[in-house]
Amino acid sequence: MEGLVLGLVNVTRRIKAEVALRKSRKHFMTAQELHDSIEQSLTAIKFGLENSLDERAGRTAEEQVESLRGVIPLVQQAIEEVRRIHTDLRPSMLDDLGILATINWFCREFQMIYSNIRIEKQVAVQENEVPEPLKMVIFRVLQEAMNNIAKHSNADFVCLCFKKTDGSHSVDC
C-alpha cells in the first residue's frame, strides 16, 4: 500500500496568508472555469438557437418548437456547471451545517469519484471550536490536499485527522 502524508499543522497562524492567497486564486479559478466550461455551454446554446432560427423557413410551427426543445438540455447543462463551480468554491453546506458536515460530505463525494482511495476520518473537534473565518480555509486546504493526493499519488488509503492542539487547529491528510 502506497501512501502520501501531508501535514497541515497550525493552520491558525497561516489563516491571513491563506485567505489572501485563496481570494486571488479564487478569482483566477473562477474566471478560468467560466472560460473553459460555461463559455462552451453558452456557445453551444447560441449555435442551437441560431440553427433553429435559420431553419425556420419552410417548417411547421411544431417542427420549429421541436428544434428549439433541443436547446433545453444545453441550458440545463450550463446551469448544472454553474452550480458545480459555485459548490466547489464555497459549498452552501459550510454555512448551513458547518465544517464537520462539510468534511463528511466532501469525503463522500471524493470517494464516489475516487473509489479506489479509502478515507479514514478522525475528527476530534467540535463545531463550536472552529472559528467562522477558519472554516472556509480549512475546507479549501482539505479540498486542495485531497485533490493533490488523487492526482499526484498512487495512494489507496488516506487518514484524515482534524484536531485542536494548544489553541490551534490541525488538519493532517
| Sequence-separated (6 or more) residues with CB below 8 Å from residue 53 | none
Q: Is residue 94 part of a domain?
A: yes
Task: Centre a 10 Å sphere on the Cβ of residue 148 and count the other Cβ atoms it contains.
Answer: 13
Task: Locate 2 and state its grid cell.
Answer: 502506497
Q: Is residue 2 part of a domain?
A: no
Q: Is residue 71 part of a domain?
A: yes
This model's pTM is above 0.85: no
CATH code at position 57 = 3.30.565
Task: Locate 98 and state its grid cell.
Answer: 458547518
Q: Is residue 60 part of a domain?
A: yes
Q: What is the pLDDT of residues 41-93, one digit of tens each?
A: 888 888 888 888 877 777 888 888 888 888 888 888 888 877 777 666 677 88
Q: Is residue 19 part of a domain?
A: yes
Q: Is residue 57 part of a domain?
A: yes
Q: What is the pLDDT of residues 11-35, one digit of tens each?
A: 444 455 555 555 555 555 555 666 6
Q: For the chain, give me the number of helices (H) and strands (E)?
A: 7, 4
Q: What percent of the chain has pLDDT over 70?
A: 72
How many domains, the chain?
A: 1
What are the C-alpha distances in Å from 16 to residues 23, 95, 144?
Answer: 11, 20, 17
Q: Is residue 160 part of a domain?
A: yes
Q: Which domain holds residue 28?
A: 7-172
**Residue 88 exposed, middle or buried by CB count within 10 Å (0-12, 13-18, 19+):** middle
Q: Is residue 1 part of a domain?
A: no
Q: What is the pLDDT of residues 96-146, one digit of tens each?
A: 899 999 999 999 989 998 899 999 998 888 999 888 888 888 888 888 888
Task: Centre a 10 Å sphere on the Cβ of residue 107 and count the other Cβ atoms it contains.
Answer: 17
